[in-house]
Structure 1
Amino acid sequence: MKRHLIAFLTPLAFALPAFADWPDNARENFVAECVETTQLEHSSVKAETFCGCAADEVAKDLSTEELEAMGGDAVDPAIQERLIAAAQSCTSELE
């Protein structure tokens, strides 16, 4: 399961903006990209539920500075691991 999460959350890590309150459409973009990838193995309802949960957990766990750093060319592996860990708390939504 962790490998699956890495596969669809890693590309999102490069697209994440600063989120103080998920400015503009950042949260919606995060969820849309996540749903697109997650639907490859799960129903759209489960994908939407999981991705909404993942976005909420990521916003709780990562600071604005960490999300800004993730938008650069090189993603800090420690931040990437925290992104995955935050999203993993939502995997029950995929069952």
Structure 2
Amino acid sequence: MKRNLIALASAAFLMTGVYSAQAQDAHLVQAQDRYVRDRHERRHERRELHQRDVISMLEGHGYRIRDVKMERGHYSVRASRRGERLLVVVSRYGEILETRRITSDRF
């Protein structure tokens, strides 16, 4: 009788430990999924760029920057590339909207 009671008590003890560990694992998986989802959303959210960000982006594309002006929610950038003077219009989110040649010195 004592053996059966000891076996039953040890089995119950082991089972509660197993269920507790599974519950903790499930909680960790949920937390990790939430972290991955939040990180993915932050990476794909659109943030407004500042003037220095626009300059860095265009220099990375091979432009030499002369002047940057913020006008009506977009940046008008006076730049040159491969010997051509250009007016590059960039959105607040970093998309190049338009590129035009400058034929005079007026901006």
TM-score (norm. length: structure 2): 0.20
Bigger relative contact order, structure 1 or 2 (CA pairs below 8 A, ≥6 apart): 1
TM-score (norm. length: structure 1): 0.22
Structure with the higher strand share, 1 or 2: 2
Higher-Rg member (1/2)? 2
